[in-house]
């Protein structure tokens, strides 16, 4: 903005014209799905002329696309402040609230939209859908207060589930997962078949028992000269998961893996991903590890597709059982007392110890703040110190925060996931904070590579393997997601 504009708050005609050009250019990048470049150009437009609601509204939409829900919320609110009649501002803010699971606030904005556009069928449909969610949540809350909710796991009767003669798929042997079962399952799923519900339920019950016995922070010993692999987000991209196994070998006692959260949602083969991963957990319980991600939660699963996919392929009861299992997933893993791995990141205070993480009561839905929330939601930033999260949950932490945490706990570096990176990984904070993301061409739109990390127990030095997406059957991402999110992904 020119000096005159800064003094008066009104841009010069030249600045206003340049801002419009930046907006038009940004719109083109947005259409081509280059959301980060679009955000950069919308920001330039705002710097030249900060009084146009559309600039903030458009940037809010781009932030929604990049999952920066906190920033999207702020921009949408600013757009509404500038123009109370800017209906798209309410739409954007409602989408941000929905993405954060704040359904009552989203409903209020959808209500505003329907009043402003009484004949808009889309607005009416979104209001109606959001209203249903709010009522359903209120009903569930009332029920859980009235009665002490029983475990779904306790109500499953496996004996009552018959295996039909025509079922020719993988079979557990004496109720146990074997290597043959896993090899058969991989091929069965590759050909888009469904595992029998009796075996699916058995896997869930058994894996729940395993996770219940683990602490919130799991210690892993990697012997000298032994390889260990860390994978980031998979997000229901089953055929890319198989590609990881083809590039790096199937899990085994000599080829251990840690999958670092967000196994499901968005990608429409989440059921196949999670049963494959849980199967390997049961086959190699001491050599296959899984951390909880922010998408292993009921709210995220209801919005981003997993809940809908389980109901479509199995039952609502199984969807509830998954929620129970996810509540017991460990929150972090410590490798050789040197490297801490968690899905999101570090904390809003400097004195957090490994012992404190170990003692977290994790058998619940992720809270909106505190250590458990931050482990699942936080992100690194290049600047020193901390900042409010771009996602609206967790915190952003700088290199100094990372350094203090490592010093306090005697660690070398941290590994986290949670963020799309062009190469599938990023090394930040002077090599002390590594991001790994294993879902290439995320949502079939981002064009990113995926990656995994291999290291050996002797030097614990991270090595990166980066790869592109492989073809998958013609089922689009978000096929099972809540219809309210159709305009986000």
Residues acting as catalytic residues: 295
SS3 string, the chain, reads CCHHHHHHCCCCHHHHHHHHHHHHHHHHHHHCCCHHHHHHHHHHHHHHCCCCHHHHHHHHHHHHHCCCHHHHHHHHHHHHHHCCCCHHHHHHHHHHHHHCCCHHHHHHHHHHHHHHCCCCHHHHHHHHHHHHHHHHHHHHHHHHHHCCCCCCHHHCCHHHCCCCCCCCCCCCECCECCHHHHHHHHHHHHCCCCCCHHHHHHHHHHHHHHHHCCCCEEEECCCCCCEEEEECECCCCHHHHHHHHHHHCCCECCECEEECCCCCCCCCCHHHHHHHHHHHHHHCCCCEEECCCCCCCHHHHHHHCHHHHHHHHCCHHHHHHHHHHHCCCCCEEEECCCEEEECCCCCCCCCCCHHHHHCCCCCCCCCCCCHHHHHHHCEECCCCCEEECCCCCCEEECHHHHHHHHHHHCCCEEEECCCCCCCCEEEECCCCEEEEECCCCHHHCCCCCEEEEEEECCCCCCEEEEECCCCCCCCCCCCCCCHHHCCCC
CA–CA separation, 413 and 390 (whole Å) = 23
CB 234 within 8 A of CB 263: yes
Q: How would you label 419-435 residue by residue, b for 16+ Cβ within 10 Å and e otherwise?
A: bbbeebbbebbeebbbb
Angle, CA of 416, 421 and 424, to the nearest 5°: 80
- Sign of the CA dihedral 263, 477, 488, 118? negative
Sign of CA dihedral 311, 317, 321, 323: positive
């Amino acid at each position: 903005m020119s000096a005159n504009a800064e003094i008066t708050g009104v841009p010069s005609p030249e600045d206003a014209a340049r801002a419009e050009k930046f907006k038009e250019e940004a719109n083109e990048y947005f259409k081509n799905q280059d959301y980060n470049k679009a955000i950069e150009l919308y920001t330039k437009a705002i710097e030249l002329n900060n009084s146009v609601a559309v600039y903030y509204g458009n940037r809010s939409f781009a932030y929604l696309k990049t999952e920066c829900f906190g920033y999207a919320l702020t921009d949408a609110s600013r757009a509404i402040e500038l123009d109370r009649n800017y209906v798209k501002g309410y739409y954007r803010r409602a989408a941000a609230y929905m993405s954060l699971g704040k359904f009552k606030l989203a409903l209020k904005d959808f209500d505003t939209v329907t009043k402003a556009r009484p004949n808009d069928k889309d607005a009416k449909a979104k209001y109606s859908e959001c209203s249903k969610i709010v009522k359903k949540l209120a009903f569930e809350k009332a029920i859980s207060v009235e009665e002490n909710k029983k475990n779904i796991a306790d109500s499953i009767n496996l004996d009552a589930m018959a295996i039909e003669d025509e079922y020719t798929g993988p079979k557990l042997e004496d109720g146990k997962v074997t290597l043959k079962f896993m090899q058969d399952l991989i091929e069965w799923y590759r050909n888009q078949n469904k595992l029998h519900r009796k075996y699916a339920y058995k896997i869930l019950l058994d894996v729940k028992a395993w996770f219940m016995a683990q602490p919130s922070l799991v210690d892993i010993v990697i012997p000298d000269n032994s390889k260990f692999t860390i994978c980031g987000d998979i997000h229901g991209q089953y055929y890319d998961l198989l590609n990881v196994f083809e590039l790096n070998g199937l899990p085994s006692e000599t080829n251990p893996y840690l999958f670092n959260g967000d196994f499901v949602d968005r990608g429409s083969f989440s059921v196949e991903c999670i049963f494959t991963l849980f199967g390997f957990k049961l086959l190699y319980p001491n050599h296959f590890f899984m951390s909880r991600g922010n998408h292993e939660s009921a709210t995220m699963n209801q919005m981003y597709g997993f809940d809908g996919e389980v109901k479509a392929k199995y039952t609502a009861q199984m969807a509830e059982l998954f929620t129970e299992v996810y509540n017991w997933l460990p929150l972090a893993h410590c490798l050789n007392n040197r490297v801490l791995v968690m899905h999101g990141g570090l904390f809003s205070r400097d004195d957090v110890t490994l012992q404190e993480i170990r003692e977290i009561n994790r058998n619940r839905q992720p809270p909106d703040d505190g250590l458990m929330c931050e482990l699942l939601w936080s992100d690194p930033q290049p600047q020193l110190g901390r900042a409010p999260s771009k996602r609206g949950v967790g915190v952003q932490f700088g290199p100094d925060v990372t350094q203090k945490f490592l010093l306090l706990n005697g660690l070398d570096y941290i590994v986290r996931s949670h963020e799309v990176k062009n190469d599938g990984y990023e090394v930040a904070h002077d090599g002390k904070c590594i991001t790994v993301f294993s879902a290439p061409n995320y949502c079939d739109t981002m064009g990113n590579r995926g990656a995994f990390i291999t290291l050996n127990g002797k030097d614990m030095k991270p090595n990166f393997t980066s790869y592109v997406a492989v073809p998958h059957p013609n089922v689009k991402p978000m096929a099972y997601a809540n219809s309210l999110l159709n305009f986000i992904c």
